[in-house]
């Protein structure tokens, strides 16, 4: 008799995590792997954030923390939302969790009943659909096609909403495509949502500060204030401040919803480590110049990868507005055979042959709900990007 709960039957292991593990296994055998699969900044955590955590530890701030966040961190988050997004919240509208993923998990467990539908623009982060399934909901994928810049078209959103729809997820800049919505594009999405007052909106703004070419980020509650009471705005310190290992995300929204999310948070995790909260407070309250400085470096990396891959026959690359991913189309290579003898019939075949034959770890588009593509993360050094692009180019060139 199995001890595994039925709720896990349709929940898969993260494809990006699986590929990162594959790269580690090859590296353990002495193989030099270029890993372009992980969405993790290679920059250090800001020194003042580390110093704040150290000072908190020395001061004895090592006891159980408040369940929903320390007063100092909540104040910093309130200030952040006003400074960056022109959104006003009070402390009762804020919850701090163990990373952005836990925010989403808590929100779905707090609000989803069996059969509730959650609309997810696709390609999308691998965990959205699985979290919805875990909570008993039904993920409804809405394709955001390459021809539309991987953006959500209002007419497609309208067609996906039914009487069972409970939530809409938004993630722009997007993982895996890097696509971002202009204010006009976001306003068009908001206009649809105004016609559906019973649908909540979850906006994952974790890549907010990673935008390029003078693109101006916007979030839906800012663009359309009439939706304010139906939006859960999620963010964190992992991507912009290079604090992935500190595990801290936060969200803001209407008080009743936040109370429910906080209730779940208290049962599945509790308060976040006091030292992490001290570090995040310092990051949000401290100098913000590093955000633009690092975004400029990411832009250089994006341009470098686009230049290299645009020369590769069989690949087609959309120019992303944000995040740190490129999502090349490999339709020109489907049906070919790699030098190692693997027939490339899917993007899964492509990424597995690439890692096994040329030792470059990427992630298949199928994991994000749209094929035939693969995702490259350029959150790594120019040296690794140069080597990775050269290996990808050779891999594609050798196909017959």
Domain ranges, ordered by start, for the chain: 6-44+290-397, 63-285
Per-residue pLDDT, 1: 63
Rounded distance, CA 398 to CA 396, Å? 5
Token code pair at residue 32: 């030099």
Specify the CATH class of 6-44+290-397 in words. alpha beta
Residue-by-residue pLDDT tens, the chain, 400 positions: 677 888 777 777 777 777 877 888 888 889 999 999 989 999 999 999 999 999 999 999 999 999 999 999 999 999 999 999 999 999 999 999 999 999 999 999 999 999 999 999 999 999 999 999 999 999 999 999 999 999 999 999 999 999 999 999 999 999 999 999 999 999 999 999 999 999 999 999 999 999 999 999 999 999 999 999 999 999 999 999 999 999 999 999 999 999 999 999 999 888 999 999 999 999 999 999 999 999 999 999 999 999 999 999 999 999 999 999 999 999 999 999 999 999 999 999 999 999 999 999 999 999 999 999 999 999 999 999 999 999 999 999 999 9
- The 10s digit of each residue's pLDDT in 234-284 is 999 999 999 999 999 999 999 999 999 999 999 988 899 999 999 999 999
Mean pLDDT of the chain, nearest integer: 96
Record the pTM. Answer: 0.95
pLDDT at position 270, please? 83
What is the pLDDT, as a whole number, of residue 10?
76
How is domain 63-285 classified at the CATH fold level? Answer: 3.40.640
């Amino acid at each position: 008799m199995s001890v595994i709960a039925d709720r896990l039957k349709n929940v898969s292991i993260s494809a990006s995590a699986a590929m990162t593990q594959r790269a580690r296994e090859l590296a353990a055998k002495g193989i030099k792997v270029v890993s372009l699969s992980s969405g993790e900044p290679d920059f250090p955590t800001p020194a003042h954030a580390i110093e704040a955590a150290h000072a908190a530890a020395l001061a004895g701030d090592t006891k159980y923390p408040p369940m929903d966040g320390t007063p100092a961190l909540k104040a910093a988050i309130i200030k952040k939302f006003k400074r960056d997004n022109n959104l006003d919240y009070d402390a009762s509208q804020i919850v701090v969790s163990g990373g952005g993923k836990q925010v989403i998990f808590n929100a779905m467990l707090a609000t989803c009943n069996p059969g509730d539908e959650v609309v997810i623009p696709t390609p999308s982060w691998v965990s959205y659909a699985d979290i919805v399934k875990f909570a008993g909901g039904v993920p409804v994928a809405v394709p955001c096609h390459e021809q539309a810049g991987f953006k959500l078209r209002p007419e497609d959103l309208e067609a996906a909403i039914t009487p069972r729809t409970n939530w809409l997820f938004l993630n722009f800049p997007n993982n895996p495509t890097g696509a971002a919505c202009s204010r006009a594009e976001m306003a068009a999405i908001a206009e649809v949502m105004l016609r559906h007052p019973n649908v909540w909106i979850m906006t994952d703004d974790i890549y907010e500060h990673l935008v390029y070419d003078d693109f101006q980020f916007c979030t839906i509650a800012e663009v359309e204030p009439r939706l304010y009471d139906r939006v859960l705005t999620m963010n964190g310190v992992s991507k912009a401040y290079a604090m992935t290992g500190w595990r801290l995300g936060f969200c803001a929204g209407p008080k009743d919803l936040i109370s429910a999310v906080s209730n779940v948070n208290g049962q599945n995790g509790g308060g976040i480590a006091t030292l992490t909260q001290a570090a995040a407070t310092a990051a949000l309250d401290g100098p913000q110049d590093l955000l633009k400085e690092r975004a400029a470096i990411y832009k250089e990396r994006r341009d470098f990868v686009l230049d290299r891959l645009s020369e590769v026959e069989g690949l087609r690359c959309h120019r992303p507005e944000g995040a740190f991913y490129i999502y090349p189309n490999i339709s020109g290579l489907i049906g070919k055979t790699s030098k190692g003898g693997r027939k490339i019939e899917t993007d899964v075949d492509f990424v597995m042959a690439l890692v096994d034959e040329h030792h470059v770890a990427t992630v298949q588009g199928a994991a994000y709900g749209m094929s035939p593509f693969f995702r490259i993360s350029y959150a790594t050094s120019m040296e690794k990007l140069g080597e990775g692009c050269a290996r990808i180019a050779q891999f594609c060139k050798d196909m017959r």
